[in-house]
Amino acid sequence: MPTTAIEASGLTKWFGADEIKTYAVRDFSFEADFGEMLFVVGPSGSGKTTLLSMISGILRPNSGTVKVENVEIWSLSTNEIADFRLRKIGFVFQDYPLFPRLTTVENVAIPLILQGRSWHDALDEGLKNLETVGLKDRADLPPVKLSGGEQQRVAIARAIVSRPDILILDEPTASLDGDTGRNIVAFVRNNILNEKRCIIIVTHDDRIFCFADRILRMADGRITSIEQAKAHEK
Amino acid sequence: MNGLNKMKWSNLAMAPKFGILRIAYELLVNDRAKFVALLVGITFAVFLMVEMTSMFSGIMSRASATIINIGARVWVMDPSVQTVANTIPLPDYTLDEVRSIPGVKYAVPLYSGGALLKLHSGDYQAVNIVGLDDTSLVGRPQLVSGNIQEIFAENAFIAVEDSEFRKLENPKIGTDFELNDHRGVIVGIAHVASSGLFGVPTLYTTYNRALQYIPNTRFTISYLLVEPKSPQDVPNIKKQVAAAGYLALTQEDFMQKITKFYMYQTGMGTNMLLMTAISFIVGLSISGQTFYTFILENLEKFGALKAIGAKSHELVMMILFQATFVSIIGYGLGVGLCALSIWLAKIHLPDYAAIIIYRNLWIALGMVVIIAGISSYAGVRKVLKVEPFDIFRS
């Protein structure tokens, strides 16, 4: 397995045209390695979400390339990109969008079901992942019966159930109180991160910066700095 | 790109994913309120559609009762005849004329007309009299009591035991009555395939006795019943009869002519069409709106599925599965409810004219497919438009 998980080069994305053309990301290049927890931080409107979308195969850049494990993802067909996301990337969205009409374990099993695994296999695997995040006893409850922190952990279980190489967390602490947020990120750092996985967290919550290996700061769609962080020193 | 990876991802795209249909199923049935609303909408629409079309079929079947019960292959009549009850007598010589047409195996006269009976109790009752050819008795009903030979006895009539039978005061063999000052006697009780439309009992007798008992016009033959030598002879018989100025119709043609008359010239068809259209609109409104709301409520989740790696066609499949599932259940419930209501109605109202035939079921199924199609179309459009990127911006 290569040590570099993601290699983005010259990424540029703009929205609109002519007078209303707005650059979200400009000529952005960076690398993220396996075994690394990379934080992308910056103020609102700095282009963090756009960057995240481009490197995860969701939003096509206007120019530039994104290589994941040496595969240029934007040269793939639409269906291949969808399969790439399904197999290689785990997402933890800001509001966790969990299906309220499915049980917790069914929500976790969704990526495996989308991969074509049988219902029961997927649920068995989902249960194991719920155990990983400490929510096995909540498996049959609907997500609405869980607290915000528990829902976040369900979203993490869903993100890792298909053993993705790259995990992307979008503002994981935005909907949580300070302690719960810290606990979640600490949990991810201690239990989910390993040398075969790269974790990218988009956040503007400076209380969790201490968990990062590197912090990539953005403003107006550009990198303003890349810092080695405390966690790296550990 | 890396060939191995590409192959893996392509295989993934080809893998059967029945699990997503299970997700679709769980999403649908676990949202009890909307699921019930969808079912109620479709069930109600199907119930109304099947009920209306079944009533029409029932009425049409009864309007063609004489044709069904007599069972002749070809009927010869005056071209102006519109329904079997609206007879225009044919001259006697047409019988010989038709018998002489090549391809005719035999042809016999039939009398069909109304009369007023004075029952044993002294009450009067309108009846339909069918006079069968004296020599062949072609079109005779199936007797459940009595002997068909008794029809040749003096004053003999056969009563049909259908939903109107009780109006003859439930006669038995030997029960007598008066018909235009002639004595009539019931010599047999018969069953027929279909009851008449107009709520009057039917009596069978011989052709000549019918003419003798009932005042008649100059011409007396209501219909000529023709048996062709082979089905291939029917077109020629029709042509020859038409050349003589009359109309020859097969049993199916005659029934269709009656159906067209009721449908297009009585307002019955318009009413049925209106009711069916209203049922369709009601069903579409309830189901369409509920289904669309259901999709809207789950739109963010569908976006998340897309972001995770679900393809558009898989999401479309989920929506179509949900629409199909709820439609099939609603259709079954609607048809079942309709069958139950017709059964209950017939227990209490023997004259209730409604029959569920396959054509009605197909029509209702077609309507349900359209309702499901339109309902899911809006949802599919919405889901196809949702961008996975939106999930990050939420």
Residues B365, B199: Cα–Cα separation, whole Å: 32
Helix (H/G/I), strand (E/B), else coil: B179: strand
Residues B10, A83: Cα–Cα separation, whole Å: 8
B217 and B311 part of one domain: no
Helix (H/G/I), strand (E/B), else coil: B358: helix
In a domain, B79, yes or no: no
Pick from B23, B38, B299, B315 the residue to mutate for testing the A interface (most A CBs within 10 Å): B23
Structure-block tokens of residue B64: 């063609």
pLDDT of residue B223: 92
User: Would an 8 Å CB–CB cutoff place A173 in contact with chain B?
Assistant: no
pLDDT reading at A173 higher than 90: no
Residues B124, B121: Cα–Cα separation, whole Å: 9
pLDDT of residue B393: 64
Let me know: does B290 contact B34? Beta carbons within 8 Å: yes
Q: Which residues does residue B225 pair with via DSSP β-bridges, in sequence order?
A: B75, B108
Nearest residue in B to A45, CA atom: B393
Q: Beta A198-203 vs A166-170: how paired, if at all?
A: parallel
In a domain, B136, yes or no: yes
Residues B323, B335: Cα–Cα separation, whole Å: 18
In a domain, B5, yes or no: no
Please choose, from the candidates B164, B156, B161, B129, the residue with its C-alpha nearest in 3D space to the C-alpha of residue B142.
B161
pLDDT category at A11 given cuts 50, 70, 90 is very high
In a domain, B380, yes or no: yes
Q: How many residues does chain A have?
A: 234
B25 and B112 part of one domain: no
Residues of B in contact with A118 (CB under 8 A): 19
In a domain, B364, yes or no: yes
ipTM passes above 0.90 = no
Structure-block tokens of residue B379: 């949802």
DSSP string, B225-246: EEEESSGGGHHHHHHHHHHTT-
End-to-end CA distance of chain B: 33
- Residue B256 has a CB neighbour count (10 Å cut-off) of 14
B240 and B98 part of one domain: yes
Let me know: does A199 contact A192? Beta carbons within 8 Å: yes
Distance from CA of B322 to the nearest CA of A (A): 14
Please choose, from the candidates A111, A120, A126, the residue with its C-alpha nearest in 3D space to the C-alpha of residue A164.
A111
Average pLDDT value over all residues in chain A:
87
B329 and B365 part of one domain: yes
pLDDT reading at A26 higher than 80: yes
- Residue A112 has a CB neighbour count (10 Å cut-off) of 24
- Is the Cβ pair B303, A97 closer than 8 Å? yes
In a domain, B292, yes or no: yes
Of A58, A84, A118, the CB nearest to B307: A58
In a domain, B80, yes or no: no
Please choose, from the candidates B242, B231, B57, B203, the residue with its C-alpha nearest in 3D space to the C-alpha of residue B116.
B203
Element (H, E) at B173: none
End-to-end CA distance of chain A: 24
Chain A, residues 52-91, CB within 8 A of chain B, namely: 52-53, 56, 58-59, 69-72, 75-76, 78-80, 82-87, 89, 91
Residues A47, A51: Cα–Cα separation, whole Å: 6
Please choose, from the candidates B141, B183, B131, the residue with its C-alpha nearest in 3D space to the C-alpha of residue B165.
B141
pLDDT of residue A2: 60
pLDDT of residue A25: 92
Nearest residue in A to B6, CA atom: A80
- Is the Cβ pair B392, A49 closer than 8 Å? yes
Please give the distance of CA A28 from its chain centroid, rounded to a whole number.
19
Residues B127, A164: Cα–Cα separation, whole Å: 84
Of A49, A85, A113, the CB nearest to B19: A113
What is the helix, strand, coil percentage profile of chain A, to 5?
40, 30, 30
Residues B353, B119: Cα–Cα separation, whole Å: 26
Chain A, residues 110-169, CB within 8 A of chain B, namely: 110-119, 122
Nearest residue in B to A106, CA atom: B23
Structure-block tokens of residue B269: 């068809």
Residues B9, B228: Cα–Cα separation, whole Å: 69
pLDDT in tens, A146-158: 988 889 889 888 9
- DSSP class of residue B90? B
Calculate the alpha carbon distances from B380 to B136, B165, B295 in Å: 66, 57, 8
Domain count, chain B: 2
Residues B90, B80: Cα–Cα separation, whole Å: 11
Pick from A49, A108, A110 the residue to mutate for testing the B interface (most B CBs within 10 Å): A110
- Is the Cβ pair B12, A93 closer than 8 Å? no
Q: For A45-62, b where at least 16 C-beta lie within 10 A, e where not — what string?
A: ebbbbbbbbbbbbbbebe
Pick from B5, B6, B27, B306 the residue to mutate for testing the A interface (most A CBs within 10 Å): B5
Residues B102, B238: Cα–Cα separation, whole Å: 11
Q: Mark which of B190, B212, B245 sits at the end of a domain.
A: B245
pLDDT of residue A17: 82
Structure-block tokens of residue B374: 């339109």
**Contact residues of B toward A, CB < 8 A:** 1-2, 5-6, 8-10, 12-13, 15-20, 22-23, 26-27, 30-31, 298, 300-301, 303-311, 314, 388-389, 391-394
B278 and B142 part of one domain: no
Please choose, from the candidates A154, A27, A53, the residue with its C-alpha nearest in 3D space to the C-alpha of residue A98.
A154
Distance from CA of B289 to the nearest CA of A (A): 20
Of B12, B18, B388, the CB nearest to A83: B12
Q: What is the CA radius of gyration of chain A?
A: 18
Of B20, B31, B388, the CB nearest to A114: B20
Which sign does the torsion angle of CA B336, B341, B346, B347 carry? positive
In a domain, B250, yes or no: no
Residues A54, A201: Cα–Cα separation, whole Å: 14
pLDDT reading at A127 higher than 90: yes
Q: Beta A4-15 vs B124-132: how paired, if at all?
A: unpaired
Domain that holds residue B275: 18-61+268-393
* Burial classification of residue B58, based on how many CB atoms lie within 10 Å of its CB (0-12 exposed, 13-18 middle, 19 or more buried): buried
HSE-CB at B113 with a 13 A cutoff on CA atoms is 23
pLDDT of residue B8: 46
The residue written with tokens 């259709």 in the block is B331
Whether the model pTM is above 0.90: no
In order along its 394 residues, chain B shows pLDDT tens digits of 444 344 444 444 444 578 889 988 988 898 888 889 889 888 988 998 899 889 888 888 888 888 888 889 999 999 999 888 788 999 999 999 999 999 999 999 999 988 999 998 899 999 999 999 999 999 999 899 999 999 999 999 999 998 888 899 989 999 999 998 899 999 999 988 877 777 889 999 999 999 999 888 889 899 999 999 999 999 999 999 999 999 999 999 999 998 888 888 888 888 888 888 888 888 788 888 888 888 888 887 888 888 888 888 888 999 899 989 999 999 999 999 999 999 999 888 777 888 899 988 998 899 888 888 888 888 888 888 888 777 666 5
- Is the Cβ pair A80, B26 closer than 8 Å? no
**How many cross-chain Cβ pairs, A to B, lie less than 8 Å apart?**
122
Q: Beta B104-118 vs B156-160: how paired, if at all?
A: unpaired
Residues of A in contact with B38 (CB under 8 A): none
Please choose, from the candidates B193, B189, B195, the residue with its C-alpha nearest in 3D space to the C-alpha of residue B158.
B189
pLDDT in tens, A80-126: 998 888 888 998 888 778 888 899 999 999 999 999 888 999 999 99
Residues of A in contact with B303 (CB under 8 A): 97
Of B9, B19, B394, the CB nearest to A117: B19
Structure-block tokens of residue B99: 């018998």
- Residue B264 has a CB neighbour count (10 Å cut-off) of 11
Q: How many residues does chain B have?
A: 394
B234 and B356 part of one domain: no
Nearest residue in A to B307, CA atom: A58
In CATH, the number for domain A4-233 is 3.40.50.300
